Amino acid sequence: MQTATISKTEIELLIEQKLIEILGDPDSGLKFTTSFVQKIKERLKKQSQRISHKKILEMYGKY
């Protein structure tokens, strides 16, 4: 990877990776609460609803 051709997004990703490497992942070792796990399980049981981009725009008056 040449520094002259690296994008802003790639630089941000490299910085983030390096910070996590140096400081560690702040979420490491955290556990989900029982209530959170239960809510996720309930949501997964329900059939998801897909809404098109066009419909979202119509709903919010941008189309």
Confidence grade of residue 50 (pLDDT, cut at 50, 70, 90): confident
Domain with 14 in it: 8-59
pTM of the entire structure? 0.39
Confidence grade of residue 43 (pLDDT, cut at 50, 70, 90): confident
Q: Does residue 1 fall inside a structural domain?
A: no
Number of structural domains (the chain) is 1
Fill in the amino acid letter for 48: S
The CB density around residue 18, as the number of other CB atoms within 10 Å, is 10
pLDDT digits (tens, 9 = 90+) for 7-41: 889 999 999 999 988 998 888 889 999 999 999 99
The whole-number pLDDT of residue 51 equals 86
Q: Does residue 3 fall inside a structural domain?
A: no
Quote the DSSP letter at residue 54.
Answer: H
